[in-house]
Structure 1
């Protein structure tokens, strides 16, 4: 059975999709871009702050599903510029300290709203 996960502590979907979908014991998030759910403003111009906002949005979705970032098993990071990998990775690593999830990181030609980073996750619900 499919269950839609929704929280006002993460940006609302800006298209015909859900913030996350729970199927069995897995939660699949939509890609989170650096939008502040409080203001609706984009966090731009600083890859570290943008990465932190993406992960804070994922954290809010995980919590809405009854999970934490420790339950994340896989992420995909999309970067506008792979030259920003080191800075993104520094912030990413501060959120996933132990038992890090599997991860893919790719450079994307263009991301929604022309952001520098987008991150999606698969979360295991225990």
Structure 2
């Protein structure tokens, strides 16, 4: 039983002392995914819908690099700086999880790294 560290060029590189994700046995645990451009790590800006799409695309890339996918997500934690935008985020979120969605928590917080409006972290099966 060993921990494998996940790194992919299809998602933004970690910009601090953390990794994109880890794989342990049949679990994949991601670090928080932000709405950053995968190739240069720059913040994409835009409204909450655009930021949600990019965040989920980045999360998906890490999961796929670990041998998993959004279809195998067990739990997602969503962090938002403006819970008044929850329904807009939820509209985009639902399009990434057709059918049955994973368990989820949504947390309103005052600030996120890179001034993002949203961040997501996942636990998935492999």
Q: What band does the TM-score fall into relative to the shorter chain?
A: over 0.9
Superposition deviation, residue 109 in structure 1: 1.1
Structure 1 runs, 4 residues or longer, greater than 4 Å off: none
Residue pair 1:70, 1:99 contacting (<8 A) in 2 also: no
Size of the aligned set, in residue pairs, is 125
Residue pair 1:32, 1:118 contacting (<8 A) in 2 also: yes
1:90 aligns with 2:94: no
- Provide TM-score, normalisation by structure 1: 0.95
Structure 1 gap ranges (5+): none
The CA RMSD measured in Å over matched residues stands at 0.9
Superposition deviation, residue 82 in structure 1: 0.3
Other-structure match for 2:55: 54
- Provide TM-score, normalisation by structure 2: 0.95
Superposition deviation, residue 57 in structure 1: 0.3
- Cα distance in 2 between the residues matched to 1:72 and 1:117: 18
- Cα distance in 2 between the residues matched to 1:40 and 1:110: 18
- Cα distance in 1 between the residues matched to 2:68 and 2:123: 11
- 1:4 partner SS: strand
